[in-house]
């Protein structure tokens, strides 16, 4: 059973470009969470999704950030018009039920030049 997969593992963007981060949950998991981690800081919750639904986006910045988890395919975290402050590691986690353990992907390291 493959674990949570994220791609790309490293992404470099120039200011003003768009960044798309993908997350494929573990097989059988329908709950996906996105977190951001700045260097030397803790995980910050961004958004929680189930298939085709955003359940909780209380941690998501109001502008430039969006997330989706379509019926088919991976979950996507999209950052428009990136700025240097968006540089961070973005982790995705999945859970089978939303009431048990979360399992994390290897993360995408975004660098904004």
> CA 81, CA 59: separation in Å to the nearest integer?
19
**Residue 53-92 contact track with other proteins, rule CB under 8 A, x = bound:** --xx--------------------------------x-x-
DSSP state of 98: S
DSSP string, 14-67: -TT--EEEEEEPPTT--EEEEEEE-TTS-EEEEEEEETTEEEE-TTS-SSSEEE
Measured from the CB atom, the residue of 58 and 72 that comes closer to other proteins is 58
52 binds other proteins (CB under 8 A): no
CA distances from 56 to 20, 49, 59, 86 (A): 20, 7, 8, 21
Member of 1, 2, 14, 42 binding other proteins (CB under 8 A):
42
45 binds other proteins (CB under 8 A): yes
100 binds other proteins (CB under 8 A): yes
CB of 95 to other proteins, least distance (A): 9
CB of 10 to other proteins, least distance (A): 11
């Amino acid at each position: 059973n493959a674990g949570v997969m994220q791609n790309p593992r490293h992404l470099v963007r120039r200011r003003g470009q768009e960044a798309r981060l993908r997350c494929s949950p573990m097989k059988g998991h329908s709950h996906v969470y996105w977190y951001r981690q700045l260097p030397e800081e803790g995980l910050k919750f961004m958004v929680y999704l189930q298939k085709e639904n955003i359940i909780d986006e209380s941690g998501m910045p109001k502008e430039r950030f969006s997330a989706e988890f379509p019926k088919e395919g991976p979950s996507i975290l999209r950052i428009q018009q990136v700025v240097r402050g968006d540089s961070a590691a973005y982790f995705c986690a999945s859970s089978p039920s939303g009431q048990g353990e979360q399992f994390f992907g290897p993360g995408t390291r975004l660098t904004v030049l």
